[in-house]
Structure 1
Amino acid sequence: MSNSPDVLFLMLDSLRKDRVSTYEHDRETTPALSTLATYATTYENAFTPAPWTLPSHASMFTGSFPSEHGVTNGFSDGMSRLEPSQSTLAEELSAEGYRTAGFSNNPWVGQLSGLDRGFDEFVEWDLEISSEMDDGIHTRRDERYSKYHSILGKAARQPVFLLKRRFFTDSLVDRANRWLTRQAENPEPTFTFINLMEAHSPYFPPKRAFEELGLEVPGPLEPRILNTKLLAYVMGKTDLDAETRRRVMEYYDASVRYQDSKVEQLLGLLQTEGLFDDTLVIVCADHGKTLGDYPRDENPPHYLRDINLNVPLWIKRPGQSTGETIEDPFELVSLFDVVRDGNPPSGRYTRDVAIAEDFVPHAGRTTPDEITRWRVAADQEFKYVRNDEDEEHLYDRADDVSVSRPDPDRLEACAQRLSERVRGFGSDRDETDDDGSTQAGHEIDASVEAQLKDLGYM
């Protein structure tokens, strides 16, 4: 590693690019991120390696695509976990002398998938402290929360919405702030990973977030009713009518605005401690979120729309003080190398085409007999989509519509570019399994499964 700067890797789970004011959304949902953009590089065509949390995080933590690392699907009767032979970003940085800490709002990112490996400190979604070093960042109350985390996990289920999300988000950010403050006194470089889930349903933003955006403040019953309708939609049981969807998007924006205040706290602390200038700061989404934008039964699946794949990304390199914008495609899987390099030039890891993979269905109670893999190759203008049965589609990215009669030469060129990239993958583990599935891991705990159900995964 040529450089060893402090690293803040902030994951804003399910944050849609089109709802971010930095990317010209008409509501000021992200003023803190707009401020960051004046110092950082903003990527217009950043692509996630997968359109949902588990494989996307596994790719960023290993620097490999889903079909390479094998963490493609999660099912409650035996889920995929990262193999012990595969090293994670935190493990590699730890071996280089970094002090590492992770704070995760999402059940998939932690012990459940093995993505907690390499962290000296790790706090799970239900506030369990799964890894701890004697640094005093946890209060006595935090220790009690960890001891009784299973009770807190059950209390976090959707019906008890006063405990939902904000309680956990506030606690995780507070602990991350204490960690950063204490590490400012130590000579060793630090790697801090934080996953926040305010942009992921269900949505219970505070009233002040609605007020700040000039939106109607909900009454005491509306959040519960609206999120019940939304969960039914996410589970494929019903569609969202126009008025419900309009209100859902207002809740989404208010949630993003509240989350942005937490981003402001974290970045403000780096400024206060004199750490901001020399820290590598990465802020991105692991994927977007479809909320009634497209038919849920469309083919190719709606997960492959740009709303899910083309995500917001900002990288502030150590010493960078002037914002810039990069138009060339960038793959989030390359963030592994960005962090390992420490301070690479902003355009080093851009590509002519970005690759993504989707293994459908994603998760559920029982592993299905058949899993379909789709692959995507996207440049600035077009997006080529193909599955393992060689069904292929071409999208015009200007409005993300399928080209009804694509030019055969363009289609062939796109297909060739995708095949060339795939041949360069380090391994293709799923090819050995007839159903596209990977190695089975331990069964999911009942309380975690219940939380995944309320998040719409099960």
Structure 2
Amino acid sequence: MKKQPNVIVFGIDSLRRDYMSSYGYHRLTTPHMDKIASQGVLFENHFSPSIPTTPAYASMLTGMDCFGTDVVALRHQGGLGNHLKTLPEILAEHDYNTTCVGFSNNPSSRGFQKYLDYEAWQPDETGKCPKADNLNEVAIPELKRLNEADKPFFLFLRHMDPHSPYLPPKPFERIFYDGDEKDPANKSMESVYHFKPHADFFKSWIPEGVTDQRYVCAQYEGAIAYMDACIQNIFATVEELGIEEETLIVLTSDHGETLYEHECYFDHHGMYDNCLVVPLILKFPGELPEGKRITDTTVIQDVTPTILELLGIETDIAFNGQSIVRPLKGEKLASVSEFYITECTWMRKHGWRTSEWKLIQALEPDFHFKPEIELYNLVKDPEENHNVASQEPEVVNLLQQRMEDYIAKREAETGRINPMYTNIHYHGLKEGPLKSSQEAYDKLYLGSISNARKIQAK
């Protein structure tokens, strides 16, 4: 009897698809992942509607939107509801061995049989953190162990290289930069160091005296390139084990990243597209075509139903997401022309995105002193630099109505209040909604690398 296929999911934290060369980035950041894309299917318009990490992975690994998961906050209180089944739980029921690397102690990773961790935050004696190599030291022996069993396996790898702190080792820290990062005439980092809530975090990993924001952005690019080279080690192991033909490879991310845009420096808050755009690449020899690119809009909750269909596993779960391999069979996808977006990390906001417009509405004042309502024309202003809410009140009203109708519909379907309305302690301050931007600015504080890791661990 033929063994079921294996699955390896690369859940790459904070990876923007527009920084990957396979998605058109002008620097060759991801040659090894690009090769996988050339051997499989790349989804050009894949989005993560609910950021950051915890709600995004909850949607990815359950096939549900944020109403279905009831998870919107990074610091989610309690576990995943018993009404949910995660992908590892479903696969375990079908006799899979399941291992998760780098994502223990988070409610969204519930259900794996084995959890392994690696150092993905603290720099070594060189001042750098070889995150992906640390992952390989744990993951490659585990991959070989899983392969020796007579069962199929699901291996989930959470890479952290594009997540701040960006600490790629040599030569990747200067692979895309040869300027003077400490030029006293360059003032571009002054606003970063003056942003009190996160300044101490930045100073804990950005080398002292750096004045050029391009240098820090180049660390993000270099971290992606370094990780890509290390991921090739895993592809080589798959090839050496002779399991390429029977292994589904999924390359994706939980959310994007803000670099120097929108004053949300080197982090992933703000519902601008740089945080919502993520890659999705699938390779499954013999089952998926090679070099195919899909332009339909897809969302993160599509990942689990897609994996299950490719494995030939049927469930009675009514997913919010859909299997997105239909276009490869000549079938049409259910159109995703607009969707609800949420963020609950350092700011509590929600909104509505169409192919033309983006509405962002604050549920309480934010620490960037931004207006309560933002509206962007994504066709004329794809970088979302010009808030036209005051010039387009009819569009604001229309999108608000579309959003409110959707919220009412999903609340009725789930029998629960929108979690965006109930997560008033999302910031960990143990107090209710913040009353002013100044209060948010004064009270919300990230701190050092160690403190950032603790917040993630919670």
TM-score of the superposed pair, with normalisation by structure 1: 0.73
How many Å separate the matches in 1 of 2:165 and 2:273? 22
Return closer, same or farther for 1:291/1:188 CA change in 2, 3 Å cut-off.
same
Structure 1 residue 188 corresponds to structure 2 residue 151: yes
The SS at the match of 1:207 is coil
Structure 1 residue 382 corresponds to structure 2 residue 357: yes
Q: Is contact 1:41–1:346 with CA below 8 Å preserved after alignment? A: no
How many Å separate the matches in 1 of 2:393 and 2:237? 53
1:313-392 alignment, distance < 5 Å: 313-319=280-286, 320-342=288-310, 345=325, 347=327, 351-360=335-344, 362=345, 372-379=348-355, 381-386=356-361
1:394-413 alignment, distance < 5 Å: 394-398=375-379, 399-401=382-384, 402-404=387-389, 405-406=391-392, 408=394, 412=398
How many Å separate the matches in 2 of 1:282 and 1:37? 10
How far apart are residue 382 of structure 1 and its match? 3.3
Paired residue for 1:419? 405
Structure 1 residue 165 corresponds to structure 2 residue 129: yes
Q: Is contact 2:96–2:151 with CA below 8 Å preserved after alignment? A: yes
1:184 partner amino acid: N
Return closer, same or farther for 1:161/1:81 CA change in 2, 3 Å cut-off.
farther
Q: Is contact 1:81–1:440 with CA below 8 Å preserved after alignment? A: no
Q: Tell me which of 116, 121, 138 is aligned to 1:175.
A: 138
1:21-60 alignment, distance < 5 Å: 21-60=21-60
Extract unaligned runs of 5+ from structure 1: 128-155, 220-225, 364-370, 444-448
How many Å separate the matches in 1 of 2:216 and 2:326? 36
How many Å separate the matches in 2 of 1:90 and 1:14? 22
Structure 1 residue 267 corresponds to structure 2 residue 235: yes
Q: Is contact 2:44–2:293 with CA below 8 Å preserved after alignment? A: yes
How many Å separate the matches in 2 of 1:231 and 1:93? 46
How many Å separate the matches in 2 of 1:48 and 1:346? 20
Q: Is contact 1:328–1:350 with CA below 8 Å preserved after alignment? A: no
How many Å separate the matches in 2 of 1:228 and 1:99? 50
Return closer, same or farther for 1:232/1:201 CA change in 2, 3 Å cut-off.
farther
How far apart are residue 216 of structure 1 and its match? 6.0
Paired residue for 1:257? 225
* Higher RCO (CA 8 Å, separation ≥ 6 residues): 1
Q: Tell me which of 178, 185, 197 is aligned to 1:235.
A: 197
Q: Is contact 1:116–1:122 with CA below 8 Å preserved after alignment? A: no
Corresponding residue pairs, total: 395
Query: What is the Cα-based RMSD across aligned positions, in Å?
Result: 4.1
1:132-211 alignment, distance < 5 Å: 157=122, 162=126, 165-166=129-130, 168-210=131-173
Q: Tell me which of 250, 266, 271 is aligned to 1:304.
A: 271
1:235 partner amino acid: P
The SS at the match of 1:453 is helix
Q: Is contact 1:9–1:283 with CA below 8 Å preserved after alignment? A: yes
Select between 263-272 and 284-293 the one with higher mean Cα deviation: 263-272
Return closer, same or farther for 1:178/1:216 CA change in 2, 3 Å cut-off.
farther
Return closer, same or farther for 1:422/1:303 CA change in 2, 3 Å cut-off.
farther
TM-score of the superposed pair, with normalisation by structure 2: 0.73
2:358 partner amino acid: K
How far apart are residue 304 of structure 1 and its match? 0.8
Paired residue for 2:423? 436
Extract unaligned runs of 5+ from structure 2: 183-187, 312-322, 365-371, 431-446
